[in-house]
Amino acid sequence: MRFRVLVYSILLCLVVLLLAANAKAETTYLAASALVDPLNGELLQNPVVEIVDGQIISVTLDGDIPETARLIDLGGATILPGLADLHVHLSWYATDNAFTFLTVSHTDEAIRNVVNAKTLLMAGFTTVRNTGAGGFSDVSVRNAINEGRIPGPRLKVSGPSLGITGGHCDENLLPKQYGIKQEGIADGPWGVREKVRDNKKYGVDLIKFCATGGVLSKGTAVGARQYTMEEMQAIVDEAHTHGMKVAAHAHGAEGILYAIRAGVDSIEHGSLIDDEGIKLAIKNGTFLTLDIYSTEYILAEGERIGVLPESMEKAAFVHERRNANFRRAVEAGAKIVFGTDSSVIPHGDNAIQFSRMVEHGMTPMQAIQSATTVAAELMEWEGQIGAVSPGYYADIIAVNGNPLDDISVLEEVFFVMKAGVIYKHTE
């Protein structure tokens, strides 16, 4: 009797598998007036995109669409690959300041991550790199997105940022008797190696550390180097040993040079980068994530939201210099990847930075490529994201107008598809 039940069970499983194998996946066709192709730097007319199981099968121009097919007709819109922002903090809000953030628990951070991940997706950012979060809250949210339990972009996350005692990545507001130290603080080559291993243990995708002071931290000089060469080399070696890339928060010229020589994969902010730093970044293939809109926002809104006076002074010191250095990096041909530091600016307003990038030297196509093909390279997702092309994920957004004529149209994304699933279609 048991043998017979076993045989029936096996036969039932085989039937189910055969039916599944023979079932025809639904094909979706998406049509629009134009397609921005960042792979070839072209604007293509009348694209028809064939999508099966969340993947792009073909892209034809003026292609035929079967009469019975499921069709998404976006009319006169322009479609693009989903955008990427590779420097965000999903657990913070632009309304936070040094005092209010002391009240935010790690469970609060997790909830904020969920809310802000959806906001970025709705703004057309289908890929995001989270560069610093407490309690590994970003790891939990990434996992929930990957499991389909909540909406959000494709995420790579760093967990707690590494930093020196009293540095930009530490909490310096309260006096010693409170004993507050951020969870990523580590000193010395063996101390930082242990912290990298700890972050890896709890599921991060990359390591982020602070190589210099910062704008919004208390008591740090924005351009001053933090960590020795030995410590930076230990961070990079340990992270690379475990297959993780390294992002270095670095405003000052010396800290940027140290971090590049130590082998980091990307420089974050890079406000005071000099010619030597730009040349070395190009030589080593180091990506520059240059968030040139964030200080503009701080100077406009910081006093209203309670940003520390010393931080306002640092933002003013950095602002014009970083714009000039951005232009020099563009002219030199550095690999500039799109990153906004959203949380300093409001989540969802990320695309405003495209206009600033064009204003300070990029062509519209270069700006779009920074958030598509260049971002895909840094994320090691080439051939998967960053283009509307056969074999890529069906991560597609749509806007009214031509972003190559007016880049600001990217601030009004009305259609968002990620892996073939429509998350937004307001027109």
The DSSP 8-state label assigned to residue 185 in this structure reads: B
| Within a domain: 89 | yes
Residue 292 lies in a domain: yes
31 touches 61 (CB < 8 A): no
Q: Are residues 65 and 95 in the same domain?
A: no
Residue 90 in any domain: the answer is: yes
Neighbour count for residue 223 (Cβ, 10 Å): 21
Write out pLDDT tens, residues 205-239: 999 999 999 999 999 999 999 999 999 999 999 99
End residue of a domain, out of 350, 370, 394: 350
SS3 247: strand
Q: Could you give the CA distance from residue 265 to residue 248 in angstroms, rounded to a whole number?
A: 8
**Residues 408, 307 within the same domain:** no
Which 3-state string (H, E, C) describes 308-348? CHHHHHHHHHHHHHHHHHHHHHHHHCCCEECCCCECCECCC
HSE-CB for 336 with a 13 A CA cutoff = 30
Between CA 133 and CA 69 the distance in angstroms is: 44
Asked if residue 282 lies in contact with residue 334, where contact means CB atoms within 8 angstroms, the answer is yes
Look at residue 64 in the predicted model and tell me its pLDDT.
85
Task: Kindly state the DSSP code that residue 408 receives in the 8-state scheme.
Answer: G
Are residues 75 and 88 located together in one domain of the fold? no
Same domain for 254 and 200: yes
Looking at the structure, tell me whether residues 216 and 128 fall in a common domain.
Answer: yes
Q: Give the number of other CB atoms < 10 A from CB of residue 414.
A: 15
- Cα separation, 355 vs 335, in Å, equals 18
> 168 lies in which domain range?
83-350
Is 57 in the same domain as 91? no
pLDDT tens-digit map of 382-402: 999 999 999 999 999 999 999
Number of domains within the chain: 2
The answer to whether residue 42 sits within a structural domain is yes
Residues 262 and 411 in one domain: no
360 falls within a domain: no
User: What is the C-alpha separation between 297 and 307, in angstroms, rounded?
Assistant: 11
**Tokens 């970003």 sit at which residue?**
138
**Pairwise CA distance, residues 215 & 294, whole Å:** 10
Whether 60 is in a domain gets the answer: yes
Tell me, yes or no, whether 92 and 54 share the same domain: no
- Choosing from 296, 326, 350, the residue where a domain stops is 350
Regarding whether 92 and 69 lie in a shared domain, the answer is no
Q: Which of 350, 374, 400 is the last residue of a domain?
A: 350
Do 203 and 60 lie in a common domain? no
Domain CATH code at residue 420: 2.30.40.10
Do 283 and 234 fall into the same domain?
yes
pLDDT in tens, the chain (427 residues): 454 544 445 444 443 343 344 445 789 999 999 999 999 999 999 999 999 999 999 999 988 888 888 999 999 999 999 999 999 999 999 898 888 878 889 999 999 999 999 999 999 999 999 999 999 999 999 999 999 999 999 999 999 999 999 999 999 888 888 888 889 999 999 999 999 999 999 999 999 999 999 999 999 999 999 999 999 999 999 999 999 999 999 999 999 999 999 999 999 999 999 999 999 999 999 999 999 999 999 999 999 999 999 999 999 999 999 999 999 999 999 999 999 999 999 999 999 999 999 999 999 999 999 999 999 999 999 999 999 999 999 999 999 999 999 999 999 999 999 999 999 999 7
What CATH number is associated with residue 209? 3.20.20.140
116, two tokens: 């802000």
Q: Are 288 and 266 in contact (CB under 8 A)?
A: yes
d(CA 265, CA 286): 5
Is residue 374 included in any domain, yes or no?
no
Pairwise CA distance, residues 324 & 275, whole Å:
12
In this structure, the answer to whether residues 66 and 91 fall within a common structural domain is: no
pTM exceeding the 0.85 threshold for the entire prediction: yes
In-domain check, residue 380? no
